[in-house]
Amino acid sequence: MKRRDWIKLSAITGIGLTFAQRTIARSVYHSFPQNELNSDDFGPNFIWGAACAAYQVEGAWNQDGKGKSIWDTFTHKRGNIHNNQNGDQACGFYHNYEEDIALAASLNLDVFRFSISWSRIFPSGEKTINPDGVQFYHNVINTCHSYNIEPWITLYHWDLPQALQDKGGWTNRDILKWFSQYVDFCTKEYGTKVKNWMVMNEPAAFVGLGYMLGYHAPGEKGPLNFLKASHHACLAMADGGRIIRTNVEGANVGTTFSCSHVDTHKGKPRHAKAVRRIDALVNRLYIEPSLGLGYPYDGFPALKKIENYFEEGDEERLIFDFDFIGLQNYFRIVGKKSVWPPLVWAKEVPAKKRDVPMNEMDFEVYPEGMYKILKQFAEYKQIKKIIVTENGVCYEDHLQDGKVHDSKRIQFYKDYLKNILKAKNEGVPVDGYLVWSLTDNFEWSEGYEPRFGLIYIDFATQKRYIKDSGLWFKKFLEK
């Protein structure tokens, strides 16, 4: 036990100490800065890692037999992405994976989370397998193991094979069959080497942005698309969970959700109902069916229309008992009622209009939001364990003499981690933290400008530089 822990224990319990010794121990303990952050405080089983996603890092979009994904199509169309950028090359992870995994290990991380590109395995989405693509993920997994890093795999991080989108993608109920085939293949292929699986990444984001607002691939719009795709995503999530559990002995099965604490604009009661609708859409819609609670009609009655897409047995089929829930938090939402858009009748008051700290994407930096959303999720008694599978920040970075002095990012991590620790100490079952992201990468519609990495990438030369925030983590996690 470290000296600090010994003093803390003695100060709190007084075990084995006289009254005078106890008083001294307490005063010594309290003289330690109370806001000092120590990774040991999170407990010996807490998992520390970093995350990324196939399309955002791999590049090699058409190499070695890979098929097209909806993100290849979407980014190649002018006007969809900031500066018409695309992920054709991205971080070149397809070729540089060894270097990146070695860098993750050098930062003392235990876990590397990455996703599989469905169209690298099944170029046309189903049936025919691409052996080179299959081999690539074996190489990534083996490299993780060689560095003593635990691979955590996300099966779906938004890059649907284009061939399946041509048949309707997530709005076609056949997606359940296609997705099951893909999950079945991957978990049989890699399941002896990989135990930690996440079925999906943020269904609210890929359905909301991709099938309702048209801001992400495949660029579809409209409430009917949204309801259909949402229902199919929820079913596929539970189906995927069952397949992993069947195929992988000793699996740790999870899935991830984007979520944000929602506050009422200026605390005014007249916005309360609007805020409940936002909360239902953002935080409850995708998780509650899997917990056996059904869709959150109480928060958003118009959602009832989703039942138009139900088939017999769906209520049961939506339920799956995940081993862990991946919680991903980037900002808080402040909401108010509004005459637009219809059905929702609510809107967000953007951070820009609230004079609050923001990141480069105008997300509010609000560390207490992490604590509040963890507490909100801990209210679900069905959740056994929470892993923060993403949290991070994009600030403007400057590379000077091979260094990036990103002190604001370090402060961000300290503040968010303190809030996680506070929730944990109050009994929230949070057991891990994965930084978004290991390296700078392709930030979807925003292109390469927002940099989230612990490692800076010079995209022109593909050279990597560990930022000060990466070095901070290295020290923080030193054993």
Asked whether the beta carbons of 284 and 296 are under 8 A apart, the reply is yes
**Which residues within the stretch 150-209 sit at the binding site for ligand NOJ (CB under 6 A)?**
201-202
Give the pair of three-digit tokens for residue 50: 């970093």
Q: How far is the CB of 201 from ligand NOJ (least distance, A)?
A: 5
Q: Is 202 a catalytic residue?
A: yes
Q: Which helix (H) or strand (E) holds 240?
A: helix 223-247
Query: How deeply is 325 buried, as exposed, middle or buried, from its count of CB atoms within 10 A (0-12, 13-18, 19+)?
Result: buried
CA gap 145, 193 in Å, rounded = 9
Q: Which CB atom, from 40 or from 396, has the smaller least distance to ligand NOJ? A: 396
x/- letters, 302..341, toward ligand NOJ (CB under 6 A): --------------------------x-------------
Q: How far is the CB of 208 from ligand NOJ (least distance, A)?
A: 12
Tell me the residue type at 290: S
x/- letters, 4..43, toward ligand NOJ (CB under 6 A): ----------------------------------------
Which residue in 126, 202, 364, 443 is the catalytic one?
Answer: 202
53 binds ligand NOJ (CB under 6 A): yes
Residue from 85, 216, 443, 464 in contact with ligand NOJ (CB under 6 A): 443
Which residue in 126, 288, 364, 390 is the catalytic one?
Answer: 390
Size of the residue set binding ligand NOJ (CB under 6 A): 8
Q: Which CB atom, from 247 or from 441, has the smaller least distance to ligand NOJ? A: 441
Among candidates 120, 161, 111, which has minimal Cα distance to 141? 111
Q: Which CB atom, from 90 or from 121, has the smaller least distance to ligand NOJ? A: 90
3-state SS, residue 120:
helix
x/- letters, 56..85, toward ligand NOJ (CB under 6 A): x-----------------------------
Give the pair of three-digit tokens for residue 421: 């620790």
CB atoms within 10 A of CB 57: 26
Asked whether the beta carbons of 327 and 385 are under 8 A apart, the reply is no
Question: What residues contact 451, with CB distance under 8 A and at least 6 apart?
Answer: 360, 394, 395, 396, 397, 440
**Which residues within the stretch 418-437 sit at the binding site for ligand NOJ (CB under 6 A)?**
436
Q: Which CB atom, from 10 or from 255, has the smaller least distance to ligand NOJ? A: 255
CA gap 94, 63 in Å, rounded = 9
Task: Report CA torsion sign: 325, 359, 93, 175.
Answer: positive
Q: How far is the CB of 156 from ligand NOJ (least distance, A)?
A: 11
Distances (CA, A) of 86 to 187, 214, 405, 448, 455: 29, 17, 27, 9, 20
Give the pair of three-digit tokens for residue 410: 């370090």
Q: Which CB atom, from 7 or from 370, has the smaller least distance to ligand NOJ? A: 370
Q: Which CB atom, from 202 or from 279, has the smaller least distance to ligand NOJ? A: 202
Q: Is 390 a catalytic residue?
A: yes
Token pair 């094979």 is at which residue?
A: 161
Q: How far is the CB of 266 from ligand NOJ (least distance, A)?
A: 27
**Which residues within the stretch 86-115 sit at the binding site for ligand NOJ (CB under 6 A)?**
none
Question: What residues contact 308, with CB distance under 8 A and at least 6 apart?
Answer: 227
Q: Which CB atom, from 216 or from 284, has the smaller least distance to ligand NOJ? A: 216
Residues that bind ligand NOJ (CB under 6 A): 53, 56, 201-202, 328, 390, 436, 443
Give me the active site residues, please.
202, 390
